[in-house]
Structure 1
Amino acid sequence: MKDIAKRFPENPLLSPSDIPPSHKDLQIACILNPGVFQFDNKTWMILRVAERPEQKKDAISFPILTETSSEVIEISKNDPELDYTDARVINYKGADYLTTLSHLRLVCSDDGIKFYEPENYPLLIGQGIFESFGIEDCRVSYIEGIYYLTYTAVSPNGVAVGLRTTGDWKNFQSHGIILPPHNKDCAIFEEKINGMFYALHRPSSVAIGGNFIWIASSPDGIHWGNHQCIVKTRKGLWDSARVGAGASPIKTDKGWLSIYHGANENHQYCLGAFLMDLENPTKVIARTHEPIMMPIEEYELSGFFGNVVFTNGHIMHPDKNTVTIYYGASDEFVCGAEFSIKEIFSLLQYS
C-alpha cells in the first residue's frame, strides 16, 4: 500500500489538553474530525469535542442531554448487563449509549497550523430529542453566500443527519433532521449541478446491504430525493467493512473528486478517492484501488480508538494544485496533511 500524504511536522495540531472543557464537571476525552472552511481571511475548523466525567476505576459514567439541561449516568463495571468492550459505545440492559457527549466548537488560524478559540463565537450543542446523545463530525459547504453544516445527530432514536445554516458563524438556523436513521457522513457539493443541490451520504443496513456511499439531489438543500448507491465496500480490500464520504467533493476539470474513508473488519480506517462525472455525479468513473493515506504514525495508531485516520474537512490550493486535509487521528487528535491532486489522479483506476 502507498501512503502519499505529506503530514504536517507539527502534528498533532490539537490535543484534548489544548482546549478547555465546556463544563467544570467534564473532561475532554478527544477532539477529532473537524469540518473546515475559510472565513474572515482565516482557516477555521469546527471540531467535534467529546466529553465525559472523570472516570472511576469501578464504573462507567457518561453524560446525555435532557430537554432542559444534561445528566450523568453511572453504571458499575461489575453489572452483568453492561457491555463496555467498545471504547465508543456501551450497551446496558439492551440499550446503546455513547461513552462521551459531543458538541461542535470553532477554532481558527492565521497560518493553517496554529489554531485558537476566537472570542464571542458560540458552541454548537445538541438540540431536542433527536440530538440528545450529541452532535458529531460536521461537514461545511459554502454555497451562494451561506454555510451549510451537515452533522451526525445521535439519540436513542438512532443516528441521523442534521442541518444548520449560517452566514456569520454567530447566528444559526436549524433545519432539523434532513436524513433519518441510520445515516451519517453527509457532504453537500459546493456548487449546484443543473440547478440542483447534490450530497453524498451513508445510510447503513444491519441486515441486507451494507455501509455504502449514496448520492441524493435536492431543490433547496433541505429536502432530498433521487437517492442512488454509488460506492460500495470491496471484499478483501482496505475498505471491506464500510465506506463514507469525507468533505464536499472537489471540482476538477476531470470530474468531482471525493476523498473518502474506508474501514476493514479490524476497524482500521484509511483514506481513498473516487471521481464522479462533472455533469452527472451519480456516475462514478474512477476509484483508487489502494488507500492514499493509512494510519502509520504513533498519534494515528494509538489513542482513544487507535488505527484511524478520518477526514471531513479540507482546503483547496488551486495555485499549487494541492489540497490540505485536516483529519482526526486515533479518534483523539486533530492533524493536517497535504496531497498533490496530480498524485491522487495518478492512483485512480478508471472503470
Structure 2
Amino acid sequence: MIQRFKENPIINTIDIQPSLPSFIVECVLNPGVFTFENKTWLILRVAERPVQREGYVSFPVYGKNDEIQIIEFKKDDPRLELGDSRLVKYGNKFYLSTISHLRLVCSDDGINFYEPNHLPTKIYGKGPLETYGIEDCRVSFIEDEYFLTYTQVSENGVGVGLMRTKDWRSIKREGMIFSPHNKDCCLFENKINDKYFALHRPSGIELGGNFIWLASSYDLLHWGGHKCIARTRADSWDSVRIGAGASPIKTELGWLEIYHGADAHHKYHLGAILLDLDDPSIVLARSNEPILSPEMDYETKGFFGNVVFTNGHLVDGDQITMYYGASDEVICGATLSINEILKSLEAQLSQTMKA
C-alpha cells in the first residue's frame, strides 16, 4: 500500500541553516506541501534552540516586539523537570524546549530540496499568541489562493491560526480561527453545499479527549456547526489521540483523509478515514490497521522516537505523494495508491452502505 522513498530521510537537520548563528536546528518536521512555479514546495517546521552550556538548559521565546529572548535554568535546580524532550517544566510553568518557525524549500524532482533566494522563505511567530513559536502548517489551495492553517503556541495555550497568500511574496495573517486548546486543522479544498469545511482537534482534559471534529464556515474565518466525527479507540493503534493530516482527497466513494493516531506508548501511526461526499460528518469507513507505522531506524530513533506524522501531500491520479515527519526530527517521503487505501476500507464501506 505504501512505498517509502529510497532516499529517506530526504531532509535532515544539517540541511537547514539556523536562523541565528548562536542557534542549532534540533528538528525539521511535519511539512505542509504545495505546488508553485512548476516546483514542489514544502513549508517545514524548523525547531531550534541555543547551543547548550554545560550544566544548564536554555531555550528561546519571543518577547516584546517579537524579539528572541533566551531563558536559562540550572539543571540541578530542584524546580526543573526535563522528563519529555519536547518540554521544560519549571515549578508550575511549562515551556517548549525549542522554538519553531516555518521555512520554505522547493524541489524540481520532489526529492532534492533547497531554499530559494527569489522570495521570502522564513515565517516567524508574531504577537502574544505565538510567543512559543508556530508549528505544523497545512496548505490548502482554494479558489486560486493558498490558505495556511498552523499551530500557534504561547503561554495562553495552543490554537489554530490562518494565513493566506496568492504569490508567496506577500502573506496576510488572519489571526486565530480556533481557540485553545486546538490543533491539527486542515481545510477541505472544495465547498460542500455552499460552505467551507475544516477538520480540527480540540482537546478535552477530564471530559472528552483528543478527537477529530468537523466545522463549517461561509468565509473561512468564522466557524460553527461543530461535530465530533471520530474518537480514539480503546486497545487500538489510535487509542490515545488522533488528528487530521492534510486536506481530504475527493474520491468517488467519499472524502479520503489520512490521519495520525497515537497509542498508550506514544507511538504515532498513520491511517485512513472515509467521509461522506455530501455530509462529511458521516464516517463511512476507518482503518482497523495502520497504513504506515514507525519501522525504519529514522522513524523509531530521534528527538522523539516512534513517530510518523503527516500534514502534507500531492495527488496525481491514483497516486498520493506524501511527505511526513519521522521521530520529530527529519523529513521523509512515500507514495500511496488511493485505490489500494479504498480497497482496504472496502469491507467496512460495504457494511455502511447496507445499513
Residue 257 of structure 2 corresponds to 258
Deviation track 1:286-328 (CA, whole Å, cap 9, x = no partner) reads 111010000000000001000000000000011xx11011000
- Does structure 1 residue 60 correspond to structure 2 residue 57? yes
The SS at the match of 1:17 is: helix
- 2:288 corresponds to: 289
Instruction: Give 1:214's aligned residue.
Output: 213
**For residues 24-60 of structure 1, what are the alpha-carbon distances to aligned partners after superposition, in whole Å with 9 as ceiling and x for unaligned?**
1111000000000011111100000000001223211
CA distance in 2, matches of 1:122, 1:143: 22
Distance 2:55 2:204 in 1: 35
8 Å Cα contact 2:101-2:125 kept in structure 1: yes
Deviation of residue 67 (structure 1)?
A: 2.2
TM-score by length of 1: 0.97
What RMSD, in angstroms, separates the aligned Cα atoms of the two structures? Answer: 0.8
> Which structure 2 residues correspond to residues 40-51 of structure 1 after superposition, within 5 A?
40-51=37-48
Residue by residue over 1:204-260, the C-alpha shift from the partner in whole angstroms, topping out at 9 and shown as x without a partner, is: 011111000000000001110000000100000000000000000000011000000
In the alignment, the residues of structure 1 paired with residue 121 and residue 292 of structure 2 have an alpha-carbon distance, to the nearest angstrom, of: 33
The answer to whether the aligner puts 1:13 opposite 2:10 as a matched pair is yes
SS at match of 1:296: coil
Q: Which deviations, in whole Å up to 9, do the C-alpha atoms of 1:61-99 show, x marking residues without a partner?
A: 100001221100011111111111000012111011000
Matches within 5 A, 1:270-289: 270-289=269-288
**Contact 2:215/2:225 (8 A) holds in 1:** yes
Percent of aligned positions with the same letter in both sequences?
Answer: 56
Matched, 1:126 2:125: yes
Q: How many residues align?
A: 346
Gaps of 5+ in 2: none
| Alignment partners' CA distance in 1, 2:133 and 2:284 | 36
Alignment of 1:244 onto 2:225: no
Q: Does 1:94 align with 2:126?
A: no
Q: How does 1:321-332 map to 2 (within 5 A)?
A: 321-332=318-329
2:124 equivalent to 1:113:
no
Output the CA distance in 1 between the equivalents of 2:313 and 2:299: 18
The aligned counterpart of 1:152 is 151
Question: Which segments of 5 or more consecutive residues in structure 1 lack a partner in the other structure?
Answer: none
**Matched position secondary structure for 2:14:** helix
Letter in 2 for 1:94: N
- Give the whole-Å Cα distance in 2 for the aligned partners of 1:175 and 1:62: 28
Q: Give CA deviations for 1:166-211 in whole Å, capped at 9, x if unaligned.
A: 0011101111110000000000001111111100000001111100
> Could you tell me which residue of structure 2 aligns to residue 269 of structure 1?
268
Aligned partner letter, 1:109: S
Counterpart for residue 77 of structure 1: 75
